[in-house]
Structure 1
Amino acid sequence: MKRRDFIKTSALAGFGLSMGPSWIKAAEGLEAVAITQGPKAHWFGYYDKFQVDPSGRFALGCEVGFEGRSPEAPDRLGIGLIDLEEDNKWIPLGSSKAWGWQQSCMLQWIPGSDEEVIWNDREGDRHISRVVNIKTGEKRILPEPIYALAPNGKFAIGTAFNRIQNLRPGYGYVGIPDPFQSVKAPEEIGLYKIDLRSGEKQMLLTIAELASLPHLDKDVSDNWHWFNHLLVSPDSKRLLFLHRWRPEILETQVMARTGFVTRMITCDENGKDLYVADPSGNSSHFVWRDPRHIFVWTKPIDKEAGFWLLEDKTENTRLIGGETMTTNGHNTYVPHTDNEWVLNDTYPDKERKITLYLYHIPTQRQVVLGRFYSPESYFGEWRCDLHPRCDQQGKRVFFDSTHEGMRQMYYMDISRIVGN
């Protein structure tokens, strides 16, 4: 694959940036470099996973030959490696039949490894995960799908993706029906832990257990419950997930996006020491800042909506970027900046433009990297959020975008801005 021409994202690129405010001037000269091109659509997936290997040379990606509809059981997703030093050459790694537009197939590098990558797949009547060594070609199968990996590279956590698909279409996988679709709070499924080497599985918490836990002193057991958005703390000792429920089974796609309640839960790596980190019902996108703090978009009880820093197992909270980060987005910390720099995006505004930006916490300074047009055809389940993620060096931002008319992947060099 040949490298595409650089796409200007400064004021001259036509993404709606004016030359007035200082934060626009700070972004002058930046370029969005395309690393994939048509005729197939390409993207990575979620924002809280390693797309780029530790050396910075290889980026992971997915490709598919259609857009604008939900995946169907036969649809196979191509998995590839992009050599950023060899004209963005696409190197096929395999495929998956367990994927969605928002989080793809949980494709990612195993933390601490420059050789092994992992993704979810469907084999027969079960979901699995595949591990591939890009250097030796060795392949192995784990008996369960993964959702998030521990930073120590030793284990993953997961939940039932067919349950998610049943209650929040687009975030689970088609092809295998939820066997408990008539049960509001199953005892058989929930949060599990799987050893990345042996494949041994340990059930940590069941959906029934969490459904029996009152919410703001009210019984919520008589609802349809599921788990979503799992993450492991930087020291691999605490787990974080969203427990969600809705009063009725889905009847329309609108209900798939609304009508549910959320509470953020933490526990230790064995499912013990449970704590409701955010009981407000408003938790959305989040990352761990360090082993004790969670950076999340929410509206805490009796407080304003925004990005809040919550201290685990306490009621301590602090608003971050209250004057600038005023809308929900996909937030992460830029590596090797002592958690001073935040990378974030927005949803499309009225002009269908998505803003990609950095925020410097000590100086409360925003640096807009670009605004990217999202065609109206990208909406709902198959929308294309930027889902920005840094490489492991904290030098480049990689993101998915449709500003050239179809879903492709790009990167921008931010090293001169953040000092990496």
Structure 2
Amino acid sequence: MRIEFKATSFPSLSGVDMKVPVWCMTPHRGACLHRFFDTCPISPSGRYLALFGMPFENRLNAPGDLGHVVLIDLQTGEERVVAQTAGWEPQLGANLNWGIDDHHLYFNDVDCQTWEPQLVQLDPLRGTSERTKGGVYHVSPDGRFAAAASLEKMIRTQIGYGVLIPREKIGQNIGAPEDDGLYVTNLNTGERRLVLSLAEAARYIPELDGGDLDDWELYGFHAKWSPQSDRLIFTIRRFPRHGAMRFNLLSSDDPKQQIRYDVLTLRPDGTEVCNAVPARHWEPGGHHINWFPHGKKLSMNLGGFANELRFVQVAAHGDDLKLMHADAIGSGHPTVYPGERNVLTDAYAGEPVAFEDDTVPLRWVDLQSGRERCLARIGVRTEPQPNNALRVDPHPAWDRSWRYVVFNGVAPGENTRRVFLADLESVVNSSDQ
């Protein structure tokens, strides 16, 4: 698939730190972001870019605050608001995902009368929409299904990724409930099904075997389809139960509240469950697991092999956890390029590979030699930033042709987040890639 991109419709971002062509896709509208590093925000035809527009950048949103679904025409540069939604947070917006074609765009909303999360199917070209209960985290690449944990409960472990409702309305998972877990919605029929309960998931977590589950609170978080739509990642987060209603535990320094992570993989019908990355591997630090392009292995940053993060890989069924390269430093949100020789990633402002002025690199890492190139340098902070969830993560995401990369950032001299497009054709086609 070739994207319908007309470069002259967008201003270029030039400078000594730009080693590849980069364009600003939102020159007229600030406070925009694309979803995540595992999701292509460009429509199936290659003509449109779907983004989320924040109504403000200087504070966290409250339940009922409305953001915007923004459609960018990649030929003309036209920016158009096609929907409003209360189902968002500042890191992934409303979890915008394209479906089978340009007439199927999915995102979250909240019914502010009942405070129930909703999945919206929007035709952004005709303006029609349909709603079902539940919500969406990730749509399968074949456009048939949407997967999500309980989006309103994500705030119990981390701000930024689900939907907001009043805190008194958010359920508490004491132990591993039978009626919460990983949900899959059939996007043709609207049928939503609990395919793996947290009670069932707990059976695959070694530390919980034989213990009292009521000593813990368990919540689902990331739900990610494989590129072939035949398997899912489901991340389980848990922390010791102390009775109090607690939120955003990732920001806590209290060792008694330490979050434990387990990454399960499974078939879409809930079978063939395995714990691919048990919690013991996360203890030295780690983040951002993702599928390899062929869907047989997982990639992530992990700290157990050195004194700092490294890129690691593991088979989808949990075998053969190992380094991708002994010396290549892990960072940000890594994606393995087809052929498995290279990784594209960004960085957090506090990681060793970041610069000291709230800018970070887009890194192109050769997994054979360990050498890397900084393809672009972009700002990742707006002021004021009263909460870390308001940081600007680039989340570099490939288009379906594996040529273009969409990422978030703050341009030099500005104080608003925008969305950028980089052309990596010269990089991926170079003889020394």
Aligned-partner Cα distance in 1 for 2:236–2:40: 24
Q: Per-residue deviation at 1:31?
A: 3.6
Aligned-partner Cα distance in 2 for 1:366–1:47: 19
SS in structure 1 opposite 2:162?
coil
Q: Per-residue deviation at 1:284?
A: 1.9
Structure 1, unaligned runs of 5 or more: 14-26
Tell me, yes or no, if the aligned pair for 2:117 and 2:152 is still in contact at 8 Å. Answer: no
Aligned-partner Cα distance in 2 for 1:47–1:128: 23
SS in structure 2 opposite 1:171?
coil
Q: In the alignment, what sits opposite 2:58? A: 68
**2:90 is equivalent to residue 89 of structure 1:** no
1:196 maps to which of 180, 183, 187: 187
- Write the letter of the residue equivalent to 1:278: V
- Write the letter of the residue equivalent to 1:272: T
- Write the letter of the residue equivalent to 2:26: T
Aligned-partner Cα distance in 2 for 1:153–1:109: 7
- Write the letter of the residue equivalent to 2:223: L
**2:201 is equivalent to residue 210 of structure 1:** yes
In the alignment of these two chains, the number of paired residues is 398
Q: Given the superposition, is the C-alpha separation of residues 367 and 52 from structure 1 closer, same or farther in structure 2, using an over 3 Å criterion? A: same
Aligned-partner Cα distance in 1 for 2:160–2:290: 21
Q: In the alignment, what sits opposite 2:379? A: 373
Q: Per-residue deviation at 1:254?
A: 6.7
Tell me, yes or no, if the aligned pair for 2:204 and 2:275 is still in contact at 8 Å. Answer: no
- Write the letter of the residue equivalent to 2:108: N
Aligned-partner Cα distance in 1 for 2:246–2:151: 19
Structure 2, unaligned runs of 5 or more: 1-7
Q: Per-residue deviation at 1:386?
A: 0.5
Aligned-partner Cα distance in 2 for 1:9–1:229: 36
- Write the letter of the residue equivalent to 2:199: A
Task: Give 1:228-239 correspondences, 5 Å limit.
Answer: 228-239=221-232
Larger mean Cα displacement after TM superposition, 358-367 or 123-132: 358-367
Q: Given the superposition, is the C-alpha separation of residues 235 and 309 from structure 1 closer, same or farther in structure 2, using an over 3 Å criterion? A: same
Q: Given the superposition, is the C-alpha separation of residues 255 and 397 from structure 1 closer, same or farther in structure 2, using an over 3 Å criterion? A: closer
Q: Given the superposition, is the C-alpha separation of residues 61 and 356 from structure 1 closer, same or farther in structure 2, using an over 3 Å criterion? A: same
Q: In the alignment, what sits opposite 2:322? A: 318
Tell me, yes or no, if the aligned pair for 2:226 and 2:232 is still in contact at 8 Å. Answer: yes
Q: Per-residue deviation at 1:175?
A: 1.9
Tell me, yes or no, if the aligned pair for 2:234 and 2:265 is still in contact at 8 Å. Answer: yes
1:10 maps to which of 5, 11, 16: 16
Q: Per-residue deviation at 1:304?
A: 7.4
Q: Given the superposition, is the C-alpha separation of residues 254 and 137 from structure 1 closer, same or farther in structure 2, using an over 3 Å criterion? A: closer
Task: Give 1:99-178 correspondences, 5 Å limit.
Answer: 99-110=88-99, 112-123=100-111, 124-125=113-114, 126-177=116-167, 178=169
Tell me, yes or no, if the aligned pair for 2:380 and 2:394 is still in contact at 8 Å. Answer: no
Q: Per-residue deviation at 1:104?
A: 0.9
Aligned-partner Cα distance in 2 for 1:53–1:181: 37
- Write the letter of the residue equivalent to 1:113: D
Q: Per-residue deviation at 1:395?
A: 1.9
Q: In the alignment, what sits opposite 1:359? A: 365
Q: In the alignment, what sits opposite 1:383? A: 391
Tell me, yes or no, if the aligned pair for 2:331 and 2:345 is still in contact at 8 Å. Answer: no
Tell me, yes or no, if the aligned pair for 2:275 and 2:318 is still in contact at 8 Å. Answer: no
Aligned-partner Cα distance in 1 for 2:14–2:212: 51
Tell me, yes or no, if the aligned pair for 2:156 and 2:247 is still in contact at 8 Å. Answer: no
Per-residue CA deviations over 1:95-153 (Å, capped at 9, x if unaligned) read 1101011111110211x423321111112321111112234444222322011122222
Aligned-partner Cα distance in 2 for 1:52–1:220: 46
2:37 maps to which of 31, 43, 47: 47
TM-score normalized with structure 1 length: 0.86
Tell me, yes or no, if the aligned pair for 2:172 and 2:245 is still in contact at 8 Å. Answer: no
Aligned-partner Cα distance in 2 for 1:66–1:187: 38
Q: Per-residue deviation at 1:93?
A: 1.6
Q: In the alignment, what sits opposite 1:262? A: 261
1:296 maps to which of 289, 294, 300: 300
Per-residue CA deviations over 1:361-414 (Å, capped at 9, x if unaligned) read 345442211222334644511111111112222222111112322111111111
Larger mean Cα displacement after TM superposition, 307-316 or 379-388: 307-316
Quote the sequence identity (%): 22
Tell me, yes or no, if the aligned pair for 1:107 and 1:119 is still in contact at 8 Å. Answer: yes
Per-residue CA deviations over 1:266-288 (Å, capped at 9, x if unaligned) read 12211122211011352520211
Aligned-partner Cα distance in 2 for 1:252–1:156: 26
Q: Per-residue deviation at 1:225?
A: 1.2
Q: Per-residue deviation at 1:166?
A: 2.9
